[in-house]
Amino acid sequence: MLTKELERAGLPTAHICALTPVAQMVGSNRIIPAASVLHPVGDPNRDPAAEKAFRRGIVERALRHLHD
């Protein structure tokens, strides 16, 4: 898993993924649940403004996990 190798090299990561049980099984740290498999950081069914806010929320959550 790429996130584990980056962590091992000293680079903190936040793993945004739709299949959180798989990420947990392989030992990823800081797992951020994604929206879906096809659109991990988005929702094409939303209007553009809501889509932007939705994406921003996922990224902000990931950044908060990196800070903790």
Scanning the chain, the segments in alpha helix (DSSP H) are 2-8, 20-25, 48-67
* Average pLDDT along the chain: 92
| Domain residue ranges of the chain, discontinuous segments joined by + | 2-67
Residue 31, pLDDT score: 95
Q: How many CB atoms lie within 10 A of CB 15?
A: 22
Length of the chain in terms of residues written: 68
Residue 6, pLDDT score: 92
Q: Is the pLDDT of residue 68 over 90?
A: no
pLDDT, tens digit, 9 for 90 and up, residues 28-61: 889 999 999 999 999 999 999 999 999 999 999 9
User: Mean of the pLDDT values across residues 8-31?
Assistant: 92
pTM for the model stands at 0.81
Q: Give the residues across from 15 on adjacent strands.
A: 31
